[in-house]
Amino acid sequence: MATDPFLLFDEWFAEARASELNDAEAMALATAGADGEPSVRMVLLKGHGPTGFVFYTNERSAKGDQLAENPNAALLFHWKSRRRQVRVEGRVERVTDAESDAYFATRSRDSQLGAWASDQSRPLDTRTTFEARFEEVKQRLDGQDVPRPPHWGGYRVIPDRIEFWSDRPHRLHERRLFTLVDGRWSEGLLYP
């Protein structure tokens, strides 16, 4: 076997980007806070490689709070058109401010402004309140570059397990599991 899981992910991701109708980079992110209660939501993959899988968010969001309490997470990519999925489990670390700044600069202006206007995951009385906050931020920063909010940044999931699942007829699926042991990847199979 001895395949590099990151090279295999690159292959599968490229194939998914060519065949998925929408958001091949969409991934389910599962976290749990100190209370151990799990929570899952969709986020977008914004970088990947041997150092891990990167996404960005408001650090004061529910997921940001949970990651501060318990820096471990699981990811799931499900590419229905390819009949494949990839599961990733590992510890989480913050990306550098420079990485967060560089990615934030690539976002649309409205997305940048929204990062300032939104108290992500917090209760909102009416949509009108959020829209008014967005307009206030838009006017305040008119004609200026939008800086990255100090509470907004990236996280990297550094995997210690990566599973590649392929659909097969009659539920006789193929499951390849890569496990990090003493700094090296070991590969094995799992029963379907």
Q: In this structure, are residues 53 and 73 in contact, taking their beta carbons and an 8 Å threshold?
A: no
Secondary structure of residue 45 in the 3-state scheme: coil
How many structural domains is the chain composed of? Answer: 1
Short-list 73, 68, 25, CA closest to 47: 25
Specify the pLDDT at position 104: 98
- Annotated catalytic residue 140: no
User: Does 63 map to a domain?
Assistant: yes
Q: Is residue 129 part of a domain?
A: no
Q: What is the CATH number of the domain that holds 174?
A: 2.30.110.10
Q: Give domain status of residue 141, yes or no.
A: no
In 3D space, the residue among 53, 45, 71, 21 whose CA is nearest the CA of residue 162 turns out to be: 53
Residue 30 falls inside a structural domain = yes
The rounded radius of gyration (Å) of the Cα atoms in the chain is 19
For the whole model, what pTM was predicted? Answer: 0.93
Residue 178 domain boundaries: 5-108+149-190
* Cα distance between residue 59 and residue 179, in whole Å: 29
What pLDDT does 46 receive? 98
Residue 177 covered by a domain: yes
Task: Please report the pLDDT score of residue 21 as a whole number.
Answer: 87
What pLDDT does 28 receive? 98
Contact 23, 13 (CB under 8 A): no
Where are the extended beta strands (E) located within 45-125? Answer: 47-49, 52-58, 72-79, 84-94
Give domain status of residue 113, yes or no. Answer: no
Catalytic residue among 109, 127, 161, 171: 171
> What are 79's two structure tokens?
């590419």
Residuewise pLDDT in 10s, the chain (192 residues) = 457 999 999 999 999 999 998 999 999 999 999 999 999 999 999 999 999 999 999 999 999 999 999 999 999 999 999 999 999 999 999 999 999 999 999 999 999 999 999 998 889 999 999 999 999 999 999 999 999 999 999 999 999 999 999 999 999 999 999 999 999 999 999 999
Cα–Cα distance measured from residue 23 to residue 16, given in angstroms and rounded to the nearest whole number: 9
| Domain assignment present for 40 | yes
Asked whether the beta carbons of 84 and 12 are under 8 A apart, the reply is yes
Measured between alpha carbons, how far is 147 from 144 in angstroms, rounded to an integer?
9
**pLDDT score for 2:** 56
Kindly provide the b/e burial profile for residues 131-163, where b requires at least 16 CB atoms within 10 angstroms of the residue's own CB: eebbeebbeeeeeeebebbeebbbbbbbbeebb
